[in-house]
Amino acid sequence: MRPDDVEGLRLIDHHCHGVVKADLDLAGFENLITESSDPPPAGTSRFDSPLGLAVRRWCAPVLGLEPFASPQDYIARREELGAEEVARSFLKEAGLGALLLDTGYRSDELHVMKAMGELAAVPVHEIVRLEAVAESVAASGVDASAYPSAYREALEQASREAVGLKTIVAYRGGFSFDPEAPVEAEVVRAAGPFLEAAASGRPRLADPVLLRFGIWSGARLARERGLPIQFHSGWGDADLDLHRSNPTHLTELIREFDRLGVNVVFLHCYPFHRDAAYLASVYGNVYFDVGSALHYHGPSSGRLLAEAMEVAPFSRLLFSSDAFGLAEQYHLGAMLFRRALREVLDGWIEADDCDAATAGRIAEGIARGNALRIYPLP
């Protein structure tokens, strides 16, 4: 296989979300092409960004428009076709082989697993979010003394057919937490205030003891079932203290999980993609991707992937789109990934640093083979 054969590979999108069910107006669309909650400067648009530019260049032709169509024309064409037709078009264009869907965030607004499978016409598998399980347990009215067993039972039930677990502890205080598993008495004490808060409104898990308990409960289940645990790292919205999400802060936990035989997968990683690559080069249980950061980089996506590939073993890098809400992000994630991977590998071949057969093997591994090795897919 040559690196240009990556076009024919059915990518395993190992971390993604559903797409919106409803048609979008201009404001609704622009809210989904940014991680910011602040408005753009007066007289400008969310389209004035690398991702917005990529939408106008590479997504407009898929909908039958000229490249660089105006935002207004683009949204009008989207509305003319309808949300489902738009989703089918972009998901087909992405050339995917399977979706590993995180179902734990704003799921009421998005197409769920069955609908995503029908739109994409590929198998869809679930990734269970550890914090979402805790919040559902809290909403059930369980007593604090029963919380530990209730959580473990709920996680077992929720992940019965899942192929992986995920934590967003990066958003709930960051990675500088005690890497040891909490004892049961600590968990019960911490559960009291969490459950009291849940009784008066929607629960939000932020207690460090309960977060650790969820991660360690997930690790034990992951060890039993051969599931990897995904950690959001780096790139995200304004709810994140970025410096707290550097994956090197989790070094001791990585070592503990390595002893257990539990794989850790860092998602997104930018601007810590080089840190994640270092960890992947040192610890046998570390994998990572640059999902979502790729399509947000737009024209610079090739440089981002090249940096991610500087020191990491080729067996540890995965593909994901982290598409959320917009089917365009599935298409752009896949297209920009393929283009970036070709640029890197073709450059290595031209410089006589790599032969075509090896480059093809590297491409196949990153595109799908590495995911097939660490996720228990059928």
- Check which CATH number belongs to the domain holding 131 and give it: 3.20.20.140
Q: What is the 3-state secondary structure (H, E, C) of 151-178?
A: HHHHHHHHCCCCCEEEECHHHHCCCCCC
Which of residues 81, 108, 123 is at a domain's end? 81
Which of residues 44, 61, 81 is at a domain's end? 81
**In the chain, which stretches have pLDDT less than 50?**
1
- The pLDDT assigned to 107 comes to 76
| Among candidate residues 254, 274, 251, the one with its CA nearest the CA of residue 262 | 254
> Does 179 share its domain with 69?
no
> Does 309 share its domain with 357?
yes
| pTM reported for the whole predicted model | 0.96
d(CA 163, CA 127) in angstroms, rounded, equals: 6
Phi and psi angles of residue 166, each rounded to the nearest 5 degrees, phi first: -145, 145
> Does 77 share its domain with 32?
yes
> Does 59 share its domain with 104?
no
> Does 34 share its domain with 166?
no
> Does 52 share its domain with 133?
no
| Number of separate domains in the chain | 2
| pLDDT tens, residue by residue, 212-249 | 999 999 999 999 999 999 999 999 998 899 999 999 99
| pLDDT tens, residue by residue, 261-302 | 999 999 999 999 999 999 999 999 999 999 999 999 999 999
- The pLDDT assigned to 104 comes to 80
d(CA 57, CA 65) in angstroms, rounded, equals: 10
- DSSP string spanning 213-227? HHHHHHHHHHHHHT-
> Does 40 share its domain with 175?
no
> Does 361 share its domain with 212?
yes
> Does 31 share its domain with 19?
no
The half-sphere exposure of 139 on its side-chain side, counting CA atoms within 13 A, is 12
Residues spanned by the domain of 59: 25-81
> Does 161 share its domain with 52?
no
